[in-house]
Homo-oligomer: A and B are copies of this chain.
């Protein structure tokens, strides 16, 4: 009953992307369910004034790798953008498809106990 109120536990997530430096979000196998809810993508004062394309790599329904552009930022035009809770199931890889960065990603790392999982056989 309690879980219906507040949902999963929420932890802060933040990372920094630079050209040629991928960031992987893949919590270790710990019998818990993990989800990443991306909130903001932001530039730094040191970020070069060029178009930055932020790409996420996850999985589609077939389990195949899929790339998706989740934000395009240019410091002098749009220094930060809200993604409004873009939920991605790990493993996720973030990288700059264009631009040299740095670019910051932040959001919520959601964790749920295994007994609250939504496995097919438990329903």
Contacts and interface: CB of A to CB of B under 8 A. Distances in A.
Interface residues of A, number: 75
B89 A10 contact: yes
Contacts of A74: 79
Contact of A84 (B8, B78, B82, B122): B82
Interface in A1-42: 1-14, 27, 33, 35, 39-40, 42
Q: How many copies of this chain are found per oligomer? A: 5
Interface of A: 1-14, 27, 33, 35, 39-40, 42-45, 50-51, 53, 56-61, 66-89, 92, 98-99, 104, 106-109, 111-113, 115-120, 122-123
A89 B3 CA distance: 16
